[in-house]
Structure 1
């Protein structure tokens, strides 16, 4: 017992491990599939090619700006730093101001000086001339100062821009390595301490651009730029960035410089992409291990018949309690949730923490749920009949059955719908009336009142009458089920399905009551049958046994022995007749009698039967009155079996008729039938139902002193009915009448 318990525990642990491994496999597959693009070694370069090309172009332009365009910038004067066009504009503006100054001074002083000279006032003229020259000198100085200030301001802005260019180039110093030979200016530009070999560059470079371009190598859009500037050399991005020294940075960097300063972003992104690829490679290894573990666990579970484990069986039983269609519909949202969660969860990262366990705690039950579906599918595959059984219990079939039953009687269904609508209307009417009362709307209040009166006077009484009838039906059914069949369900004047149901239940009650009476009667007749058979068989057997004992006596005389043997012969014949009649009655009841139907002259057959019974008739005190309308009356019958019917009926009349009375035998021909009637006065009081005489071993002589077997009428009735006829008994007091009807023969 302990071994079995341990085995069950091991199987349960194996099941849990299998579900857990399957969950991890799902997480691994989802993560690998989601990040599968990172497995490509060149994915970073392909994915960021435009960005890298743009950054290389910016860097090449920075090289040109700093090392070529502004190579001797520090030695230039402010005027030389200003662009020629801008400097020309400033000079033109200055010259215009000087010309305007001359015009203003001439207009202000020249006329006055000439007038003073014309007046011979040379001193006044000299004084005005001096004043004019002083103003010119001061104005020229001011204009020149403004010009110099603007040139200095523009040169200062240009200085800042050049500094920004140098700073941006400096910021990229740890990301981009270069060694460029400028053939036009015969100069070399580099930030390398030594010239690396091609092997070192191939090993340490993330991206390298060798110009002139080598065959099969990528120029990243720099080929034309190098050709235009007559440059040759190499630019590459190392796999590991060098730290950038802030000692070369300015204390105040412009926003443009900060934006343009790319730092080590390309290298950091490449490192990130590479880390993802390395993680995926590790996950692939983990996937292989998990798959091997899953296969091992599956084989172990299969060998130990894990599907029969109580944990699986109980889980499967709980699953089957959910309707099949609900299960199938729930499978889709559950699958979507599972996929979304597995694809959106970041599971493979370190260190392991609470999030990892919470993820497994959520996904493992879902995995077990889906695996249970697989087990159920396998069970259905092995036993297809269970699918139809589960489908019959599905929600769809239940709703379909409910709707089908609801629409089976459309009249009742529509009545219920109308009543429901009227009741909802009453609620709406109450709400409208209350709102109308609050808003002082007399029209709506009056309409709500009218509807309420209509509902109370017509709808509510209708509902109450039906409810009362339903309650009476319920009470009546309860009393009927308790065995009280005298209860009557009063439907009153109500009409409709409920009233019809009440009448049907009343009729059913009568049928059930009649059936119970018939059953009790049948049980009573069965009991009498057993008693009568026992009595009728026991009587001759007892006599036979007694006379056999007498015959064993040695002192018995020859005459007595002969008398005893005669008695034994009679009793034996009597017993044989009883047994033969019993077997024949059984054969008739089972319908295993073969009939030889032919054209039979019923009149001749009846005369023959009466002739064979003539001795018995003569010995009796009865007087037979025979009336046969025609000599030839034909019917499709079995002659031998029909003779047995006639013989049994005549024998019954001889046995049970009151002595010294008449027996009337009439055979008449009707348009499509032949009718035989035998009427006599019974010697015994008939205090039971006439139909009971057709029961086996039933006799009018309840003391059972007559020689009859009690099977004559039963056999006769069976033979008549097997031939398509009818045998009935009519009793009026002690007057006994047997009526036999055969279908008349119709010639073709």
Structure 2
């Protein structure tokens, strides 16, 4: 029972998928025809079609050609017309006769040569001689006949006029064949008119109103080059999207640019027998077909939606459907999709090639082929692409790829080969070159042997030459590699001896060039490490010196004043002063030691950080409020700029307060009295930036990176009470809160920048 339900479920999912894809393919293919023939749903749709407008444009071109170039027999036969024929027309006619003379000469010569050859074959040489004489006379007569016409300009003009009279008859016949088109054409240059109806010149338009289905009047531009000028009047609104728009534009441009005015009308009731009648009959059949196709699209789309909803509603069905081919290797599925796509493209090409000839069928056989092809393609693509989104099918997909299995085998085989190639690259590549040379030379040797088997010396010489050529190429290749290897050896020796500025100059590709690049990169890294180590040692020395100085100064004072107290030689007032000094120096030493410990903890990252949402502006205001008294004593003018809205970051409030405290302390201790201090808080994109700028009271002859080191002070003479740890502590505290801290120095302008990610 369970197996039956499982098989039934599998059948249902396959049916739903096939219904969905076939209905979607039907919508796609049939919609092409409906969209292409959308005019059938519009008022006056027939007059907007490509078929109708193509016929009207053809008629227009014929009648314009008739009026502008041919007019009538009297015009063509007139002396003025012959006189006005251009030299190009005459020369073209002359060249035409020359070509005709060549063709007839070749034809006559070919005919008589065959007859002469037959006579010679029968040994009737007298007949052959007679035919030759006859040929010569015929050629001479042809040349005389044609030359008399070719060299006579009047004769050439007469031929041109006769041809144009015949063309006039043909054009009239074609124009008269458009039974359902009524027209009036007026030439603005000479007033020539052409019409097939009775009309009132003062009210031509009124002559076309009775049962008119299509009416068009095109005006002459009369020298106006404005492309947007309304130069036509039409009772049918032909839009750019209509299939007949291109032919309509060509018609209008031809008339308006020729200084003509034309009236054209087509009656709603058509007479049988001309191209417009047959085009309308096809249009009626097409209209029925397109309406039926629209119904088919609606039904197919409804089936697609229902099938899709059922598949999505029961996701288990969809999942089982798309992973049903999971056992097939990826390449097999891909080849299947490609094969179906190629077949589908061929079917579609056949569909579009057949398209112009389809008339009344709702869905033709070619359309059915296209629908089947697209549906199969969609099903295969669905089963190939969607498994990527399901773990059950995608997790083992790569391992089941045939190319992956081949790659795994090659990888195991190549690992050892790569090591051998790298260790013995010159020998290996030389062997490869020799083997390739042998592969080329052996066939050449056999080929040369066949050519020169009769001459052993030539054969031996060519073989020797080929061998020497191979030897020369191999020797040059190996010699070049040995030169590169020698350069690498020399470079390594120089670098080993301490010349870190030496660079191995080798260009090109290959393992040796790669080795040289790696050695150069190692040298750069070694040089950078040595420079960093030297700088580190210098900083350590300076650190020890500064720590010793800053600890020794208050400690010496404490020892000296304790000694004075022991002697008890001073007055009570002096004793109290000594005690105050001892208290200040002790506090100074205490703060120095606390700062040193805090700097060490911050630098090592061992401080505990309590990250929380912090409003930057409020915290900065609180810090400035606590330093208000010191700021006044320092005679500094603080200019603080911050946005009206609140800016939040993720930080430790206490640690960030300490950062602000250190920076403001630094500003108070080292700023030039009477100057302004600028503090700016703002957000740039997703970053919150705090910058503090002040003018230093001392010359800042120091690198910004060095001033961030512990015990480094801008006041090199150490006139102030600073410890030289404030900036180092601030930098470390900012960094452990995932922020960035940097210093900029421009002359005496000192600027500290802090950046945090904005918390929203």
Q: Tell me which interval the TM-score lies in, with the shorter structure as reference length.
A: 0.3 to 0.5
TM-score, normalised with respect to structure 2: 0.42
Greater C-alpha Rg? 1
